[in-house]
Structure 1
Amino acid sequence: MAKPDNREDNAVHLQQHINNTEENLQEAEQYLNEFADEISSNEQNAIEAKNERRKESIQSFEAEIQDESGQ
């Protein structure tokens, strides 16, 4: 039997996703700053690209929260 579609707590879950993504973004930036001399340019580029995707995800989550709240 399928579960009913309960969207009451979607905004809360989306905010948790934002918080987690922001934390991962900050940790990656800190890693880049602390170990800039020790990591390869390939790894640095990969981390920077992932951080750009994280920023895009945060924007998407924020837009979804606005949609959920009816604004």
Structure 2
Amino acid sequence: MLALLAGALEGAGAGIVWAKVNTFGSTAADVFCVTVPAELDARAAVEQHLLEVLGASVDVVVDEPVGD
């Protein structure tokens, strides 16, 4: 999954500075530090590429992380 997400970020024009995965039993949290060119509409491009890889709809995108 980490490789798929990293590929989607790169496909959206984002440069990956670092990536980290934390596992919590049967769940995982993938965290990425990315850079994007100033002229790129980064958020829209990144969201679209990630949603395509994950097979999710735009309805599942949230602006803030979901915590416990």
TM range (shorter): 0.3 to 0.5
- Going by fraction, where is strand more abundant, 1 or 2? 2
What's the TM-score, normalizing by structure 1?
0.31
State the structure with more CA Rg.
1
- Going by fraction, where is helix more abundant, 1 or 2? 1
What's the TM-score, normalizing by structure 2?
0.32
